[in-house]
Amino acid sequence: MERKFLMGNEAVALGALHAGAARGAGYPGTPSSEILDVFNKLGGSAEWSPNEKVAAEVALGVSFAGVRAFTTMKHVGLNVASDVLFTAAYSGVDGALVFIVADDPGLASSQNEQDTRRYAVAAGVPLLEPSDSQEAYEFTRLAFEVSERWKIPVILKLTTRVCHSGTIVTPRPADTGLATAHFERNIPYHVMVPGHARPAHRRLRQKLAEIAEWNETEGPNQKVEGSEELGILVSGVAYQHAREAGPDASFFKAGMSYPLPMRSMLEFAASVKRAVVIEENDPYMADALRAAGGIIESAPEMYRFGELDVGRVKRILAHDTSPEAVPPRGKPPQLCAGCPHTITFELLKKHNCIVAGDIGCYTLAALLPLAAMDTQICMGASLGVGIGLRHVLPRDEAKRVVSVIGDSTFVHSGLTGLAEMTYNVPPTGHVLLILDNSTTAMTGQQEHPGTGRLLDQSPTNRLDYEKVVRAMNVPNVGTFDPIKQPAEFEAALVEALEKEELTVLIVRRPCILAVARKGVKPASTQG
Ligand SMILES: Cc1ncc(C[n+]2csc(CCOP(=O)(O)OP(=O)(O)O)c2C)c(N)n1
Ligand code: SF4
């Protein structure tokens, strides 16, 4: 087939298409967000789900119908979907289920740099780690094959460089003769009550033992002959950097890094005078090899933080622990000129509010010049954190606490926080602002249940925030356009801060980039 120059995320989408995936479901998150859009444009069936847990459940349901499914998310999305992952590992799948999870070493656009390989160990699911676009394509297809063969979910772990760098891909003909969807009743495998889960756990460990054996002999691991003086054990994109940093070394690249091909890796380490493990983020392989008795070197702790590159790998190989050059500080990111979020945070600052914030473009309001957000932890936390503060702060301070959440984030994980707000009502009540800009702006303008459009832009039901909030027993509900009604919005905010009741203000004005790119109309005029 014709060679193509593809970004890693495009290669994954093509791999999923050629593997015959019946449906992909996900929630946006940099650096994973392009995969579903490309899969859809290539003709695949794809959806944006309200959050990663729902996406994983949808994909699991598809796999229970005997066909191939995948779910996409960024690394922190797997925290949300982990409840599905851990028990789907027990239930197993009927068709195939691949969790495509993109890590962000160096925190280009995330709140932490957790290492998804730890999840594979904790949940007991195989994990594949491509190092370029060709492998992103091949490993995606392999992930479906491993999942289907052992009836187990498989994680495909990507990282920012693999997702967003382009390399040549030679595709293969698409899989044919795949199963068609059909549900086979199998209660002991699909219903994870304790009596079914106990044997399921034993089955899982048996599958993992078989996969570990397969990985030793047939897995996607690669040995590169080189010097006997230096052998480098490596995984993921670190392989590309290490090849350049140590061109004469011999290499063992783990393509499936859980379960690790431990025998082969120990043999390799013993076959060279100096064995060094090079890996991004956690010392996951180094710890495992040492625990198994391997004599290896690994990177000093300072290299655990951030992405690796050729220069850093050279330093690791040279035992260089001198302070690294600090890259020049670029201009901090800011809200776009004319962004509808700006007015909201100017008002919150003017009225000396304690702002329990959330994740989205509006988080930029925490930075100078606004500096108008006081907390931000994870999606949805604005509600819980704000309510916690209101419960214990002295009355005068408590009355100044406001939770602020974007529309996509509200649907993702704010609905349950709203239930908390109307159930465990703080003594001074609470104020929530939902910033409805009619898109998931931060990750590139994706649709969500509040926009009234599906992933392919076709129309669907639109979640009505006002109705939802009223149905959850919030007594004071108002909607304002911050650009057209700044005075009314300010008056409503001041009243809410004084009232000591529950108030939700919906701040509705579309993101100016969404208007420019997609012609999104002001939400108030949407049906
Ligand atoms: C669990 C999790 N999933 C995904 C993300 C990536 N992410 C950060 S904020 C956000 C949504 C932003 O949309 P919205 O709340 O509507 O705010 P906007 O950017 O439009 O202002 C997403 C998808 C994340 N940080 N955590
Ligand atoms: S992309 Fe949209 S929401 Fe984000 S800062 Fe720009 S105008 Fe505001």
418 Cα to the center of ligand 2, angstroms = 25
Q: Cα-Cα-Cα-Cα dihedral of 267, 276, 110, 139, to 10°?
A: -40
Of 195, 218, 241, which residue is a domain's last? 218
Which residues fall within 8 angstroms of residue 497, CB to CB, at 6 or more apart? 351, 353, 399, 400, 402, 431
Quote the CA–CA distance of 466 and 485 in Å, as a whole number.
18
Ligand 1 center to 30 CA (angstroms): 9
Q: How far is the CA of 509 from the centre of ligand 1 (A)?
A: 17
Q: Are residues 73 and 154 in the same domain?
A: yes
Question: From the CB of 361, is ligand 1 less than 6 Å away?
Answer: yes
Atom of ligand 2 nearest to the CA of 512: 7
> Does 142 lie in the same domain as 119?
yes
pLDDT at residue 45 is higher than 90: yes
Q: Is the CB of 443 under 6 A from ligand 1?
A: yes
Residue 435 forms part of a structural domain: yes
Q: Based on the fold, state whether residues 167 and 44 are members of the same structural domain.
A: yes
pTM, full prediction: 0.97
147 within some domain: yes
Protein residue whose Cα sits closest to atom 5 of ligand 2: 335
pLDDT at 523: 45
Split into its structural domains, the chain has a count of: 3
- Per DSSP bridges, beta strands 46-48 and 23-26 are parallel
Residue 324 within a domain: no
* Statement to judge: residues 58 and 156 lie in one domain: yes
Distance linking the first and last C-alpha atoms of the chain? 46
- 167 residue type, one letter: T
CA of 69 to the centre of ligand 1 (A): 24
- Read off the CATH number of the domain in which 246 is found: 3.40.50.920
pLDDT band of 524, cuts 50, 70, 90: very low
Any domain includes 323: no
- Kindly state if the Cβ of 156 falls inside 6 Å of ligand 2: no
Cβ contact 41:18 at 8 Å: no
Residue entry with tokens 């995948």 = 70
Looking at the fold, whether 448 and 488 belong to one and the same domain comes out as yes
Find the mean pLDDT for residues 322-334.
87
Output the pLDDT for position 521.
61
Q: How many CA atoms lie within 13 A of 68 on its CB side?
A: 25
Starting from the CA of residue 434, give the closest ligand. Answer: 1
Q: Does residue 243 sit in the same domain as residue 214?
A: no
For the stretch 351-372, pLDDT in tens is 999 999 999 999 999 999 999 9
Is 285 within a domain? yes
One domain, residues 156 and 100? yes
Which one of 194, 218, 242 terminates a domain?
218
Domain contains 153: yes
Of 4, 24, 19, 49, whose CA–CA distance to 449 is shortest?
49
156 alpha carbon – ligand 2 mean position (Å): 31
Q: Of the given ranges (151-155, 270-274, 523-527), which has the lowest mean pLDDT? A: 523-527
Angle, alpha carbons 194-199-200 (nearest 5°):
85
152 lines ligand 1 (CB under 6 A): no
pLDDT tens for residues 110-143?
A: 999 999 999 999 999 999 999 999 999 999 999 9
In the numeric block, which tokens belong to residue 391?
């419960």
CB 74 within 8 A of CB 30: yes
Same domain, 254 and 203: no
Average the pLDDT over 39-66 and give the result: 98
Last residue of some domain: 301, 317, 333? Answer: 317
414-441 pLDDT per residue, tens: 999 999 999 999 999 999 999 999 999 9
The model's pLDDT over 230-256, given as tens digits with 9 standing for 90+, comes to: 999 999 999 999 999 999 999 999 999
Q: What pLDDT sits at residue 518?
A: 73
Give the full edge-to-edge strand order of the sheet including 502-508. Answer: 354-356, 401-406, 430-436, 502-508, 476-480
- Rounded Cα gap, residues 33 and 14, in angstroms: 15
| pLDDT score for 293 | 97
- The protein residue whose alpha carbon is closest to atom 2 in ligand 2 is 511
Q: How far is the CA of 243 from the centre of ligand 1 (A)?
A: 36
349 and 495 assigned to the same domain: yes
Q: Which residues contact 465 (CB under 8 A, 6 or more apart)?
A: 407, 410, 434, 436, 450, 506
Indicate whether 479 and 350 sit together in one domain.
Answer: yes
Q: Residues 82, 181: one domain?
A: yes
Return the closest-CA partner of residue 313 out of 251, 259, 255.
251
Quote the domain boundaries for residue 139. 4-218
* Band of residue 327 on the pLDDT scale cut at 50, 70, 90: confident
Can you state the angle between helices 194-218 and 75-91, rounded to 10 degrees? Answer: 110
Q: CATH number for the domain including 102?
A: 3.40.50.970
The tokens 């730890």 sit on which residue?
Answer: 118
Q: Are residues 214 and 313 in the same domain?
A: no
Q: Tell me, yes or no, whether 75 lies in a domain.
A: yes
Is 14's C-beta closer than 6 angstroms to any atom of ligand 2? no
| 328 belongs to a structural domain | no
